[in-house]
Amino acid sequence: MANDLHKQHRERVRKEFLENGFSDSTSAHKFLELLLFYCIPRKDTNETAHLLLKEFGSLSGVLEAETSDLIKVKGIGENTAALIKLMLPLFRKYQSEKTAGKPKFTNMDDIFDFLIKKYIGYTSEVFMVTSFDNEGCMIACDKVSHGDTSSVGVPIRDIIQIVLKRNTSFVIISHNHTSGNALPSKADIEMTKTLKTTLNQMGVKLLDHVIVVPGDCVSLFQSNEYKDIFI
């Protein structure tokens, strides 16, 4: 009897999604419940969804959780954890394909929005180089390095290799601060100055260094305190 009830409930939730979709107002547990249908057969995934939300605080918290922490939750095995961990890379891939084909940005706000989306879901620091051609079209956005939860090493040599590979004319560098504080550190400033000098010698212009936190970013070029670095 219990299995029949679960099956009927799953069919109702699946039908609701296929016919009407889910919106921003749809409860977080319903998103998780439907996702879990496809890796937890014949069980009440509603309860598991609530356990995940209780443990990690939000849907974003669940998606960003480490695999080792996910499998500690009752009802979550490695297959389920793998499906959950797939969601953010899948979304980043979607965003990358949507912006493929040398997009041309009309203003800096468009670039900031693009970069904020590129960093969605990263729980450790990531450094990226975004390259542009002479007409202002984006050539590529390359990940240079991926650090621990507090810092990321940025070898200047690796950045130069990307610049040469992409044959770029203009560059924007970016990295995220997992602390949520987007203000640049002393190391951020010194690295930016060194890279600016190196790129100038190659005939490549460093346009900006953008520091990203969830949903926001800080542009060093637009900061009165650091703008002179880029002139």
Task: Tell me the domains of the chain and their CATH numbers.
Answer: 2-94 (1.10.150.20), 102-230 (3.40.140.10)
- Region 78-99: mean pLDDT is 86
List, in sequence order, every residue forming a beta bridge with 88; answer none if it has no partner: none
Interval 176-219: pLDDT, tens: 998 888 899 998 999 999 999 999 999 999 999 999 998 899 99
Whether 90 shows a pLDDT value over 70: the answer reads: yes
Give percent of the chain with pLDDT exceeding 70.
90
Check the CA dihedral 20-21-24-26 and report its sign: positive
**Shortest CA distance to 174 belongs to which of 139, 198, 197, 207?**
207
Identify the helix (H) or strand (E) that includes residue 213.
Answer: strand 205-213
pLDDT: which is higher, 7 or 54: 54
**Shortest CA distance to 204 belongs to which of 150, 149, 167, 178?**
167
Interval 1-20: pLDDT, tens: 455 556 777 788 888 888 88
Q: Which residues of 58-69 are buried (b: 16+ CB within 10 A; e: fewer)?
A: ebeebbbbeeee
Q: Could you give the CA distance from residue 54 to residue 57 in angstroms, rounded to a whole number?
A: 5
Whether 129 shows a pLDDT value over 90: the answer reads: yes
Q: What is the pLDDT of residue 4?
A: 57
Interval 34-43: pLDDT, tens: 899 888 887 7
pTM of the model: 0.67
pLDDT: which is higher, 45 or 155: 45
Interval 60-74: pLDDT, tens: 999 999 999 999 999
With bands split at pLDDT 50, 70 and 90, how would you rate the model's confidence at 147? Answer: low
Strand order in the sheet with 205-213: 138-146, 126-132, 170-176, 205-213, 216-219
